[in-house]
Amino acid sequence: PNTIPSICGLPLKYVSLVTLAVQNALLTLIMHYSRVSAAPSHTYSAAAAVLLTELLKGSISLVVAFTRLDSYAPQYLPNGTPATNSCWNPWLLLARFRRLGKEVFRSDCWKLSIPAILYALPRAVIQNNLQFVAVSNLEAATFQVSYQMKILTTAAFSVLLLRKKLSTTKWLALLFLAIGVGVVQIQNVGHKSAESTEHDMNAFKGFMAVVAACFTSGLAGVYFEMVLKNSTGDLWVRNVQLSLFSLLPALVPIIFSGSSSTTPTSSGWFSTSLFDNFGVWAWATVLTQVLGGLLTALVIKYADNILKGFATSLSIVISFLASVALFSFPITVSFLVGSFVVLIATWLYNQPDTASSSSTTGSE
Ligand code: C5P
């Protein structure tokens, strides 16, 4: 299990981390553009986007899991199977389908219901928060930086549940990360002080929602890592199980919106038809989220959740630069200082440990 695959000679661990950073920045910009830039009456259904994402991610994982079964299918072949290795051999195909079914519905598949529900909660918060961003003019990059606080909750859950040991340097790096995120938050508060009290209340509610999302997101990621690393089972089969369980929370808002479809609101959850206004940008959001989900799974398997957090904070820089160009994001000193501290923290975390006590980065 410790062999790390590579792409073009580059370890999959780093390829997946960097790709995830780029994907995260892209997702923030696309979601911002697709939901905030459109008039409220023309927003697409967020529930439809979530459902499509789960269906697509699950289908892709199912196909990958199916193809990967090749290497360990023979024992599932019925007696008297013709000895041809053609992939169109119906006996082989049948054996693989049976094996896939057995793998997906194995006795411990219920474990994935926990991250499925936990992942659904921050998703709902993010959705509400982006609505809130639209109302209060908070910028996409600021929201994304606040959400990076999940790195602290992730580290805490990794220590608690996975018994990871973090060196003093690594804890210091995490502290710097929290400070960096905090500095950007100060800039945020200053930005709003000129506005109304109601506006400040919304900002506070939004911030508390992000804090709550950080807890569920951190726990969900670490729980998924625990299932992957503490039990057998192919990553792609685990992804299929996660998607299957995620379909339930994804369907809830759709079922509820069905009963209130005569009263469409601007929230996007209650549009008259599920696929109203589902244009190019909506599809771009779905596809980027599918990519993100698959990359996240790879990163959790080949690196870990703490490193994943640092990779996504790298995306702050990318989306910040893009926000300046695309949405005229104001360059403030505190944003620059905050982002700089976040980067320093990332660098510090990746310094080799002097003591041999840390097992954080797993297999290097
Ligand atoms: O915000 P956070 O980093 O926790 O988001 C991770 C995302 O990755 C979630 O939206 C979750 O649905 C997705 N994911 C996935 N497949 C996995 C693990 C996470 O799609 N195996």
pLDDT (tens digit, 9 = 90+) per residue, 185-243? 555 444 444 445 555 656 677 677 778 888 999 999 999 999 999 988 899 999 999 99
Of 16, 23, 114, 119, the residue with max ligand 1 atoms within 8 A of its CB, to mutate for a pocket test, comes to 119
Determine the longest span between alpha carbons in the chain, in angstroms: 79
Cβ–Cβ contacts within 10 Å for residue 34, how many? Answer: 23
pLDDT in tens, 48-66: 989 999 999 999 999 999 9
User: What is residue 258's predicted lDDT score, i.e. its pLDDT?
Assistant: 63
Nearest-CA residue for ligand 1 atom 20 is 293
Cα 259 to ligand 1 centroid, rounded to whole Å: 29
- What distance in Å separates the CA atoms of residue 11 and residue 250, rounded to the nearest whole number? 34
Among 94-108, 141-155, 204-218, 294-308, which stretch is predicted with the lowest mean pLDDT?
Answer: 141-155
The closest-lying atom of ligand 1 relative to the alpha carbon of residue 290 is: 20
pTM: predicted TM-score of the whole model, two decimal places:
0.81
User: Is residue 108 scored above 90 in pLDDT?
Assistant: yes
Nearest-CA residue for ligand 1 atom 4 is 217
Summary count for the chain: helices (H), strands (E): 12, 2
CA 229-230-236 angle, 5° bins: 50
- What distance in Å separates the CA atoms of residue 55 and residue 257, rounded to the nearest whole number? 19
pLDDT in tens, 268-292: 444 468 888 888 888 998 999 999 9
pLDDT band at 20; cut points 50, 70, 90:
very high
Distances (CA, A) of 171 to 11, 174, 248, 345, 353: 26, 5, 37, 10, 12
User: What is residue 256's predicted lDDT score, i.e. its pLDDT?
Assistant: 80
CA 131-132-133 angle, 5° bins: 90
Element (H, E) at 361: none
Cα 97 to ligand 1 centroid, rounded to whole Å: 27
Of 130, 217, 290, 296, the residue with max ligand 1 atoms within 8 A of its CB, to mutate for a pocket test, comes to 296
User: Is residue 257 scored above 80 in pLDDT?
Assistant: no
Nearest-CA residue for ligand 1 atom 21 is 297
pLDDT in tens, 133-164: 554 545 555 566 677 778 889 999 999 999 99
